[in-house]
Amino acid sequence: MKTIILEIMYILAGLVAVAAAFNALKDKKHPHPKETAAFWGIFGLIFLFGKYVPGYVIGVLIIVIGILAALNRVSNGSMETAEESERAKSAEKLGNKIFIPALTIGVVAFLVAQYIKSLGSLVGLGFGAIIASIVAILMTRAKVKHIPYEGGRLLLSVGAAAILPQLLTALGALFNEAGVGEVISHAIGGIIPQGNILAGVIAYCLGMALFTMIMGNAFAAFAVITTGIGIPFVFSQGANPTIAGILALTAGYCGTLMTPMAANFNVVPAAILNTQNKNRVIISQMPLAFALLITHIILMYTLAF
Amino acid sequence: MLSLVGILIILIGFIRKYNPIAVVLTAGIVTGLVSGIDIVRILDILGTTFVKTRYMSLFLITLPVIGLLERFGLRERAVTLIKSIKSVTSGRILIIYTFFRELAAAFSLRLGGHVQFIRPLVHPMAQGAAEKNFNEIDENEEDIIKGHSAAAENYANFFGQNVFPAAGGVLLVVGTLETFDITVIPLEVSKAALPVAVIAFVFAIIQNILLDRKLKKNHTKQTQKANA
């Protein structure tokens, strides 16, 4: 049951990507309409038919979209939503009611995840999105054609980076097959005493923060550090994976707060606010990030074991 | 040892700011090849994992309705709401913003951002409150208020988002652990994100109270000097 519903959800998600592809093709001012359309079109097709195609064929398709992205041929273009004056007028008219569909997504997802455990949060997210769409259409009397248009517009503005979490997990799988984890744990086995839980926890949290600071991306750090430190020094010692896993990720976020490598979060905001010191945002965040990182170590040590 | 070359590629690639998709793919393929996995098997692992992790990109189905709501003034209404915050100090304005932004993130509501909210709204309000309270704000104080305003957005966004059971971070944890045959449930993972969400907010409150105190102390000193 759950698998069938999920497969339908993937089809809907794939259709949003296909809509983005069509939007890019129709956008007369788009710098790379064909390449961008190919990227989202292939991505959409993987969602629609991925289950029925051999893995290595999908692998080739991923290389193709990877090359398109690497050549910077996947971009946003010039799709517009309604005029500002129209948006302001409609915001005035709808008032706070406009938040109802937006909150519906989250509320439905929570309710399904909590009370229909056999379906889980992903199906909940899908139901939430569908119900929210219906509520939004009834409320705004929007034309149905706006649905694919606006979905495609937003996906184009999110951009190619949207596929990164999936790629990083695939990278983790490749690392795993290649035995990268064993090599790292062997190499640092001399530094981190075997069988010492606290040492493992500290290494995992600090490793996440440091690696995130170097790379500017906690998601990428998570795949690497979990393979190298998390599995051999924390999970293998009997940590609750649910708790230790998410704490490791947010320990990485503490690193994000402290690094200029995370330009979108720390450098660009300083620039748009015209700060005198271009590291001002990081300076402001430093004390909190540091305190929170220590908190992570304490929480992981006490809650996960 | 050779298999570590993938990590090196990732490090260099991200530091040099090469396209992250290209970096990740290169790292994966090179790691596989130097470890003696044949190319068809590499492509198969890549493709199979990608199809298996389609759930990570399920947020795509929420985009049409969010885009539609934007068309009908979602952002404009949020701006009106933030403008209606009546608060007397810079720190308190930032605390209130952090609270609502974090709550929105927990419900996966993508409303916020430095460009959309901090620059045009939150920072001017925080700066305005300080000017009203202390007449003159020096350049250094102005800079600190800017830094704290930008930080509020990051705190709320980072530590609120994983409370949502279908958040990208939650699904990344689920998916990564799955490659090691460790099964965890998204809802449970998101519940485990709650303590950090709360503690991060408490820390943000403390930091912003300290900001208010600092501003007040700076300026009482100045008035005392002026009186003496």
Cβ-based contacts of A82 with chain B (< 8 Å)? 71-72
Buried residues in B37-67 as b, exposed as e (16+ CB within 10 A): beeeebbbbbbbbbbbbbbbbbbbbbbbbbb
CB contact under 8 A, A66 and B176: no
- In which band, very low, low, confident or very high, does the pLDDT at B227 lie, cut at 50, 70 and 90? low
- Residues in A 249-268 with any Cβ partner in B closer than 8 A: 249-250, 253, 256-257, 261, 265-266, 268
In this prediction, residue A247 carries a pLDDT of 98
Q: Which of A40, A61, A73, A167 best probes binding to B when mutated, by most B CB atoms within 10 angstroms?
A: A167
Is A144 in CB contact (< 8 Å) with chain B? no
**pLDDT tens across A169-222, in order?**
888 888 888 888 788 778 777 788 878 999 999 999 999 999 899 878 899 889
Q: What angle do CA B78, B81, B153 make, to 5 degrees?
A: 60
Distance CA B27, CA B49 (A): 16
Q: pLDDT at position A193, please?
A: 80
Question: What is the predicted ipTM?
Answer: 0.89
pLDDT of residue B228: 58
Contact assessment for residue B153 and residue A204, using Cβ atoms and an 8 Å cutoff: no
pLDDT digits (tens, 9 = 90+) for B53-98: 898 888 899 999 989 998 998 888 888 887 887 778 999 999 999 9
- Work out the number of other CB atoms within 10 angstroms of the CB of residue A194: 13
Gap between the Cα atoms of A204 and A230, Å rounded: 6
Tell me what pLDDT residue A262 has: 86
A286 — contact with chain B (CB < 8 Å)?
no
CA-based nearest distance A297→chain B, Å: 11
CB-based contact B118:B150 (threshold 8 Å): yes
pLDDT band at A75 (very low <50, low <70, confident <90, very high): confident
Rounded Cα distance, A274 and A267, in Å = 11
Single-letter amino acid, residue B217: K
For residue B181, pLDDT over 70 is answered with yes
CA distances from residue B23 to B16, B18, B110 in whole angstroms, order as listed: 10, 7, 27
